[in-house]
Structure 1
């Protein structure tokens, strides 16, 4: 039988939401997505996926998002008319976990809920009243959940195990590149810049770190054409004073807009030699613990990661000896690094990166099926042979 999944999404325009839906589809599930709209709907034209608009929310507007969740909860019965009885409900982020309980009750029976949390919001880590209240809300609405999905072991160690108060089995789904169909990604080739051309650093994905933009802009200007910074993805405009103006006025920095993941990855990463794998968005908290999409995308396509040694990303890079590690990341630090960058140094880093087995970077069809089987095993009413999985487990994603 086909597993029926109701996926509750916090942002229908988020490429990571689309990738998870495609993962579930590739694994054999039938997926209905209900979510909030911030900047369009990437799933609107996705074949075989029904998407339901629950209203609009805005980046950085916490109170507005609370009101939107309350409004959506009151309209759930109307919005979910005609949706097939789900075998499992996945709630992406805390705001959707609040809705999952209501959705499950509408369908009656014992529909298992999965809490998917791939970022730890700074308010959840607050030691004051706001943080305690938000963690209590999370504990309350996670009471009926049967599984927690997260993307970095550091999230488990630094929050879920020690601070959240949740008692759920954990499934670790790293932010790996989804391989669609049977076509395999070609093994990357080194791409030394031609005579007179700059080294190129790609900063791709969710663009939300104002400090990174300041550092990279100042660094590129210092290098005076020796390095070019290429930005692609979805800027969180609420996090910048004026993103477009800053990029326009920054020499040797250009923004090339959004891209499709995974369809466009080979093209955009083959243009650069290095991946900016540093994030200061929630410095000392979430930014220290995450393993970002761009780490896996760049790894698969041979773009050498630049990372901070103190972070989980830095530890990932150090354990595999595959990139460039910095103790601090200032414009001056980067100027020192790239003033000494040679063809031989780049080729050595590239060779180490390209020697890593591609399974480190890729989610394939077998991984997708394993995920769907794991989810099916949560529902007692599904007769499906599912292998025993330990409380903390890993499925490629």
Structure 2
């Protein structure tokens, strides 16, 4: 496999990407060769794939992998409508749309985009068995609540300011009975990062290597923090990586009420449902966590079917689906 950089772009600066994308088209066109598929991650890369192959006689087929629905695509503004129209145009030229959440199909592509005849394939953000460590250790050790401090883990991309404000106040008013262990990357205004890192009850271990360091990270915590508010599309349609990892590592989860994570966590009693919009009430719920509740959560986590959090045959099914469009196997990723 050959990997080639097409340039540098800032996270979230979607309109600033346009010139970088257009400049990359020539490189992509040269590399197309006899490729049969172009597998594109997210809308900007799908546009690059389409633009780079304009007027080619033997045009490759397109696969559009939508990892996340950008908030602007879910809004009811003129700009959002124009971007959705542009996406509809490209999707109608796409052979398969791969989505990270099954709720994207009905809640977004059917309801908002009216794209009913498109071929969809679901590959959730579950863990791959070949990625997982061979020596898992004891993934369901239950520390007694009296053995303070109880350690909360907040992992991944940290992009919810409300969560950080809530956690800072909660830790400051909990008399050292709770600590917070953070690993990942902050994508919040600097003042929120500085706020949480000033707490003496917070340890920040920096970024991490996925999946190599997951076992070490989850081995240091008692409860996984998965409560956040990231917009309507995320709340209604998305399930986070933290949910799948929490199920695998048997860590009870704290989730935001009304989210897709919370739908399963609260429904199957895998952890605690809180509402960041009601901070005082939610903090009291956290302080009332006891051994009985945690044992119930642990027992229920042990009953979660592996298919809920582990990849099974999703990739093989996608390959079979692609074979129905072409007997060839060459693929380029953008």
Which residue number corresponds to residue 205 of structure 1? 156
The one of 267, 274, 279 aligned to 1:326: 274
TM-score, length-scaled by structure 1: 0.75
1:164 matched to 2:116? The reply is no
The one of 256, 260, 263 aligned to 2:209: 260
Please give the residue correspondences for 1:359-378 in structure 2 after superposition, counting only pairs within 5 Å. Answer: 359-364=307-312, 366-378=313-325
1:219-275 Cα offsets, whole Å, 9 max, x none, are: 111213111111111222xx3133542232123122211122222212111211211
Question: Does structure 2 retain, via aligned residues, the 8 Å contact 1:305–1:323?
Answer: yes
1:128 matched to 2:77? The reply is yes
Aligned with 2:254: secondary structure? strand
Unpaired runs of at least 5, structure 1: 1-48, 383-397
Please state how far the C-alpha of 1:105 moved relative to its aligned partner.
4.7
Which residue number corresponds to residue 8 of structure 1? none
Please state how far the C-alpha of 1:69 moved relative to its aligned partner.
2.0
TM-score, length-scaled by structure 2: 0.88
CA separation of 1:106 and 1:193: change in aligned 2, threshold 3 A? farther
Please state how far the C-alpha of 1:121 moved relative to its aligned partner.
1.2
Question: Does structure 2 retain, via aligned residues, the 8 Å contact 1:176–1:361?
Answer: yes
Which residue number corresponds to residue 60 of structure 1? 12
Which residue number corresponds to residue 345 of structure 1? 293
Which residue number corresponds to residue 174 of structure 1? 124
CA separation of 1:65 and 1:287: change in aligned 2, threshold 3 A? farther
CA separation of 1:170 and 1:340: change in aligned 2, threshold 3 A? same
Which residue number corresponds to residue 300 of structure 1? 248
CA-atom RMSD, angstroms?
2.5
Please state how far the C-alpha of 1:316 moved relative to its aligned partner.
2.3
Question: Does structure 2 retain, via aligned residues, the 8 Å contact 1:85–1:107?
Answer: no
Please state how far the C-alpha of 1:188 moved relative to its aligned partner.
2.1
Q: State how far apart, in whole Å, the 2-side matches of 1:261 and 1:346 are.
A: 27
1:134-190 Cα offsets, whole Å, 9 max, x none, are: 011111222210111112233222211111233412111111011217948556223
Q: State how far apart, in whole Å, the 2-side matches of 1:324 and 1:270 are.
A: 20
What is the count of residue pairs matched by the alignment?
327
Which residue number corresponds to residue 332 of structure 2? none
Aligned with 1:86: secondary structure? coil
The one of 214, 218, 225 aligned to 2:176: 225
CA separation of 1:86 and 1:320: change in aligned 2, threshold 3 A? farther
